[in-house]
């Protein structure tokens, strides 16, 4: 039997005078240009302390690292949509654990995702506020940790746009 829980996500959009390519470059300069081999790091022997140490060397100035990039612009062009669209998956397991320890289902939305769009005369960066996705039932410690993530993500977005 399936159980459904309704909740509202909050979409946040930052418009930028930067070109699409400039915005992508600014983001990747902060979070890294190559995806972090997180599965390899996780599979290595050791305790939490050694895991933290291994992860920390990949963390960018804003506290995030790159997990994956999906270039929607490449495949949507085959359907006649000529637009640059990049989905970026970024996060930090050391931040994620601050939420997952209070509700393991918060892991459904960690790491987080951004969408960078070419807007013609500039670009935009859009994401869904993590706390609006993770906190669907009263849970004060989870809310506090998720709101800290909201603030870090907003700071990164403001920095790169």
**Which tokens belong to 137?**
């039932």
pLDDT digits over 16-69, tens only? 999 999 999 999 999 999 999 999 999 999 999 999 999 999 999 999 999 999
Report the alpha-carbon distance of residue 159 to residue 161 in Å, rounded.
6
Instruction: Report residue 144's pLDDT band, with 50, 70 and 90 as the boundaries.
Output: very high
Q: Is the pLDDT of residue 115 over 90?
A: yes
Q: Where are the domains of the chain?
A: 11-160
Report the alpha-carbon distance of residue 102 to residue 100 in Å, rounded.
5
The CATH number assigned to the domain with range 11-160 reads: 3.30.310.70
Residue 5 pLDDT: 87
Residues of the chain above pLDDT 70, percent: 100
pLDDT digits over 126-135, tens only? 999 999 999 9
Q: Which residues contact 53 (CB under 8 A, 6 or more apart)?
A: none
Q: Tell me if residue 126 falls in helix, strand or coil.
A: strand
């Amino acid at each position: 039997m399936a159980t459904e829980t309704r909740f509202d996500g909050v979409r946040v959009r930052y418009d930028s005078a930067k070109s699409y390519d400039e915005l992508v470059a600014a983001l990747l300069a902060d979070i890294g240009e190559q995806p972090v081999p997180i599965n390899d790091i996780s599979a290595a022997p050791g305790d939490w302390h050694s895991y933290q140490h291994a992860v920390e060397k990949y963390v960018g100035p804003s506290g995030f690292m790159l997990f994956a990039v999906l270039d929607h612009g490449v495949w949507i062009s085959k359907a006649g949509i000529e637009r640059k669209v990049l989905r970026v998956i970024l996060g930090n397991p050391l931040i994620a654990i601050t939420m997952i320890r209070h509700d393991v289902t918060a892991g459904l939305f960690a790491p987080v995702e951004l969408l960078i769009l070419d807007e013609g005369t500039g670009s935009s960066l859009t994401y869904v506020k993590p706390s609006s996705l993770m906190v669907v039932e009263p849970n004060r410690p989870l809310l506090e940790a998720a709101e800290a993530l909201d603030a870090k993500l907003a700071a990164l977005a403001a920095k790169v746009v």
